[in-house]
Structure 1
């Protein structure tokens, strides 16, 4: 899953606090009481014949760039159901803390977008602050890719020690990382379609260079190395062996990991990289791609919105899955997960109404509208597969959710990843080799395993 800084600059992570809450954010108002079916009955002593107050739910979110879209969808939902939705925006970096503080005072809203990973949500589950949704929305969860549906699921033996097993969040959107390419520059170099194998990718790089076009840029100077390497970890090593290698149960040297590092060496030898690649961050690479200075970039689906902001006239591009090398025994898998999870308060007095609204938000029609207007991937796979107003790149990223891995494991120390990242930064400028970097990674791994004993 891509979280926090790794989902990065999408507008949903920016800007400041926009709305202040006057009182408790959820449930009924001071003159309402809960009816047996979760609706508000109105105040005691209500004059006979007076119209019953509409059921009303409160929805908190942090999506600055999508507030008006969500308000419009809420109004449409009210028109169809009679259930009112008070959509409240709390932008900025303090949203997670606001949720935690509200949970501690039993003042969570009926529904919220959650900002945090499975470990963060586990803390709210322990305090019985949020509702288990898997049992109540089993049919809804069938709409999503399996890896996405279980991102916030907790089963026996889960690493967060959650005892109340179940699924506690519904995905409103998703994200993943793939290669993107400029169709005009490909055509100029005589490349008719995106490469399907690693060998074809290298041939494409050669054709681009021959046409005087810089082939590739990405954030090699930042966190992007890990997600770019991940598809080839799966392809060359396989999921089960990879988990064992990272846990120290099988040796790293001899595992095939040198082939993973070799993809960066291949790109260096074929002169794929833009100048300054070893220290380049992703925003710089995105600006180059948006301006037509490079033909390809490795980036996340959120980049579609970023590119639109950088250069609204830049439209003729698409995405493709990391090409599989001929010598790899396994399929490639890509980094991805839930972008925005929806979580329901355990204390809501309007459970049926809230779940009905969640179902509405993730239905095919609304997911298509959400994707087209927000540049974010639909979680609903029927929406992803259908012909709609999504751009070609957005649709390619959406279909890519079927190839997202559920886990690639963790080394016992971040020093192993650091050794890999620093080593790759040297490989891409010809100052190190896969064998040298692999040895450095293994030294860090063995040290960590020794300290762990």
Structure 2
């Protein structure tokens, strides 16, 4: 995926998105393959949790695993998000991946699997992986085989200011697209900026088109279009038209085309400071709103992306992603054991409480205290379909073209038809 997605999940790199990379001697430089005189297996854990509190929490978990497995040594290798991606691209090309490595699933993982570099985890993890939240496993399922184990999952939805909604006479969050457009009009009528958008970074705008495509064409259509390299179907053009209708209402803050996401004058701050009523963003939004702005406290609410009347999609189909771990082909048993340890209920509870991730183990839900986080978790748990971030699900060039074309539509320089055609052209070129 391109830099926009790195920016999007820069926050996640701090508190959520950590990856595992474990390696034996034959992998990427581990100290032992388990056959040394000491009888110790060293597994190298590659992660992108370079900031607190996740860095310390994960280091503590590694020590706990070592205490439970005296003949296993965990060597932690940490890289920042973009550096990690660059390194993994080079390792993939060399044919030598770490024993356990961070993955977002989707297109990149598929490339690694197709190259024969990733272990099929379906059988060795079945006794315990089947109990994980189904939607959290989705990004790592390829051809009905499991190639990754999630440690985090989340979704994109609308974060809104309850006080501003009340001021505009909106009694409940909208559940339909027409209702959503009506809410935008009511907010505008009261002089309230309905939506904050980081137009400069492009990826936040993509969320609108992706969700509208899911609602009009259905979640399966996005996968089928990628397989067929054809995004010109009526549902995708309709998605662009619905977005154009929204843009026509001029719902975004002044100067949105030059606005970033997490800066003091950006999208998150506009909502956090009460200057805009809503933003379409992931489960990390409240933390970024409070960091970039003041935060809304009890005035902050969450609702899922509305259904589109007459569309093939359902409001229970969600768009989002998370972090997971995959194993290189031939990784030692200790690597599988570590994955099992990492999704134990006690581990997940610790991650939920200390790092703010959403639980992938249903029994860990009791550790959630924030009402909005509970609302997100309830949506994920009841999800009837799941679509991974398009810049992860698709080949990197295709994901970037989605971001660029949708940004052009929002800026008024591309039509809904041209968006569909541009994405299709790029997809065909990537074949």
- Bin the TM-score by the shorter chain: 0.7 to 0.9
How many residues were matched structurally? 403
Equivalents in 2 of 1:396, 1:388: separation in Å?
14
Residues 46, 78 of structure 2: 8 Å contact kept: yes
| 1:32 to partner: Cα distance | 3.4
Matched, 1:225 2:205: yes
Give the deviation of 1:180 after TM superposition: 0.8
1:185 aligns with 2:149: no
Matches within 5 A, 1:139-158: 139-155=127-143
| Alignment match, 2:56 | 68
2:214 pairs with one of 225, 234, 258: 234
1:205 match: secondary structure: helix
> How far, CA to CA, are the matches of 1:192 and 1:84 in structure 2?
57
Is the partner of 1:194 in helix, strand or coil? coil
Whole-angstrom distance in 1 between the partners of 2:71 and 2:403: 49
Q: Which residue of 2 aligns with 1:113?
A: 102
Q: Give the Å deviation of 1:441.
A: 3.8
SS class of match (2:387): coil
Helix, strand or coil: the match of 1:72?
helix
Unaligned runs of 5+ in 2: 16-22
Q: Match for 2:239 among 245, 260, 265?
A: 260
Partner of 2:319: 335
Work out whether residues 371 and 390 of structure 1, in 8 Å CA contact, stay in contact via their aligned partners in 2: no
> Is the Cα–Cα contact under 8 Å of residues 119 and 147 in structure 2 kept in the other structure?
yes
Q: What is the CA–CA distance in structure 1 between the aligned matches of 2:12 and 2:132, rounded to whole Å?
A: 24
The answer to which structure has the higher helix fraction is 2
Residue 415 (structure 2) pairs with residue 437 (structure 1)? yes
- Give the deviation of 1:286 after TM superposition: 0.9
Pick aligned residue for 2:410 from 415, 418, 424: 424
- Hey, what does 2:180 align to over in structure 1? 201
Alpha carbons of 1:274 and 1:416: their partners in 2 closer, same or farther (altered >3 Å)? Answer: closer
CA contact (8 A) 1:103 1:124 kept: no
Distance 1:107 1:85 in 2: 20
Cα deviation for residue 233 of structure 1 reads 1.2
Match of 2:288 among 288, 301, 306: 306
Q: Residue 415 of structure 1: CA displacement?
A: 6.1
Deviation at 1:68, TM superposition (A): 0.4
Q: What is the CA–CA distance in structure 2 between the aligned matches of 1:357 and 1:248, rounded to whole Å?
A: 38
Matched-pair contact (CA < 8 Å) for 1:173–1:378: yes
Quote the residue 1:17 is aligned against. none
- Identify if the C-alpha distance between structure 1 residues 198 and 368 changes in structure 2 by more than 3 Å, giving closer, same or farther: farther
Could you say which residue in structure 1 is the equivalent of 2:20? none
Aligned to 1:322: 305
CA apart distance, 1:341: 1.9
1:9-34 Cα shifts (integer Å, max 9, x gaps): 225279xxxxxx9x933536896354
CA 1:265/1:180 → structure 2, altered by over 3 Å: closer, same or farther? same
Do the aligned partners of residues 423 and 28 (structure 1) sit closer, same or farther apart at CA in structure 2, a change above 3 Å counting? closer
**TM-fit CA distance, 1:121:** 6.4
CA contact (8 A) 1:25 1:109 kept: no
Residues 352 and 367 of structure 2 are in contact (CA less than 8 Å); yes or no, is this contact kept in structure 1? no
Range moving further from structure 2, 109-118 or 278-287: 109-118
* CA gap 1:166/1:425 in 2 versus in 1, 3 angstroms: same
| Stretch moving more, 180-189 or 105-114 | 105-114
Deviation for aligned residue 1:322: 0.4
Secondary structure of 2:203's partner?
coil
Provide the rounded CA distance (Å) in 2 between the counterparts of 1:239 and 1:87.
40
Residue in 1 that maps onto 2:6: 5
Displacement after TM superposition at 1:257 (Å): 4.1
Following the alignment from structure 1 to structure 2, what is the Cα–Cα distance between the partners of residues 97 and 378? 29
Does structure 1 conserve the Cα–Cα contact (< 8 Å) formed by 2:161 and 2:278? yes
User: Which residue pairs with 2:125 in the alignment?
Assistant: 137
Query: Over the residues paired in the alignment, what is the CA RMSD in angstroms?
Result: 4.3
- The answer for unaligned runs of 5 or more in structure 1 is 15-20, 35-39, 41-54, 156-164, 427-431
Map of 1:24 onto structure 2: 29
Contact kept in structure 2, 1:75 and 1:84, CA below 8 Å = no
Question: How far apart, CA to CA, are the structure 1 residues paired with 2:341 and 2:13?
Answer: 21
